[in-house]
Amino acid sequence: MDWDHVQNLYPHVVLRPLFARLLSAPDLIFYQIVHERMGDNAYPSQRPWVVQSETLRRLSQELAVFTDSEDQLLSSRARHCVTSLLVMDIYCQTAILRALSTTRYAKTPGAGKTKDELFFHPQAVLRLRVQRGEAFSSVGHRPIIAGRTANGELAYIAQAFFRGSCNPRNCAVTEGMKPESLRLEVRDKGTLHRRMRNPDSFVVYVLRYEPDAYAWTQDWYGFGVAGLDPTGPFAWRAVK
């Protein structure tokens, strides 16, 4: 569908919020899934088709990313699309539930570098909480590596929390870091206003089990593919 043409046909200002929803990234992903279910025009049928598993997995993962978006429109549209997939058929239901049960982190690439991503299931990790006045220590734990700082120090995946109306922020912390020494840009919920703040606490993701205890999950996670900065079974891999 030519959306530019449709918007030109119906330019009334009242319709703009509707077009914003229809053209949001989660909705466009959802339309792709619906289109795949309609099948090939060469084989017309009144009954929907089963979407190829790899295509459905990829699109479901792309959609799930938006459910935690700081953009209120994107997160609300993503949740609406997820609700629709849950009642569409058992294949769509299974794919979106798997996508939602997997936590995804992405590294922003520098100039000339590729983007990396890491996935892990929430039940495969624990969260180590660090409050104000406390310093993070990895002793006795296996925190999931985020990468290295400019001076070569290991950094670990964390999530920072703030009092008031600010959303949590994914971040990376190093050994000995305190919440009051961490400075992050945040946005107030429901607004576009951004500011720098120190979190009141943060959590660091650590392995729940010893690394060799995850061997049975290799088929689920697709382990065995070489990656960077591994922590047990989890490693960063370049986005294809």
Q: Give the number of C-alpha atoms closer than 13 A to the C-alpha of residue 102, restricted to the C-beta side.
A: 25
Q: What is the pLDDT of residue 214?
A: 67
Q: What percent of the chain has pLDDT over 90?
A: 19
Among candidate residues 203, 200, 205, 204, the one with its CA nearest the CA of residue 186: 200
Q: Give the C-alpha distances (Å, rounded to integers) separating 208 from 123, 139, 235.
A: 8, 14, 16
The pTM score is 0.56
Three-state secondary-structure class, residue 177: coil
pLDDT at residue 40, rounded to an integer: 55
Residue of 13, 92, 21, 106 lying closest to 52 (CA atoms): 92
pLDDT digits (tens, 9 = 90+) for 108-134: 554 444 567 777 766 778 899 999 999
Report the alpha-carbon distance of residue 207 to residue 111 in Å, rounded. 32
Q: By percentage, how much of the chain surpasses pLDDT 70? A: 69
pLDDT at residue 137 tops 80: yes
Is the Cβ–Cβ distance between 56 and 33 less than 8 Å?
A: yes
Q: What is the dihedral of CA 31, 37, 41, 47, to 10 degrees?
A: -130
Q: Which DSSP state fits 201?
A: E
Q: What is the pLDDT of residue 177?
A: 96
In 3D, which of 158, 215, 222, 155 has the Cα closest to residue 184? 158
Q: Which pLDDT tens digit goes with each residue over 15-42?
A: 555 555 666 788 888 888 888 887 655 4
Looking up tokens 């370049």 gives: 238
Instruction: Round to whole Å and give the CA distance between 201 and 178.
Output: 8
User: Cβ(183)–Cβ(173) under 8 Å?
Assistant: no
Neighbour count for residue 123 (Cβ, 10 Å): 9
For residues 198-222, one letter each, b for 16 or more C-beta atoms within 10 angstroms of the residue's C-beta and e for the rest, the string is ebeebbbbbbeeeeeebeeeeeebe
User: Distance between CA atoms of 48 and 27, rounded to whole angstroms?
Assistant: 19
| Cβ count within 10 A of residue 127 | 12
Query: Residue 161, Cβ neighbours under 10 Å: how many?
Result: 16
R_g (Cα) of the chain, nearest Å: 21
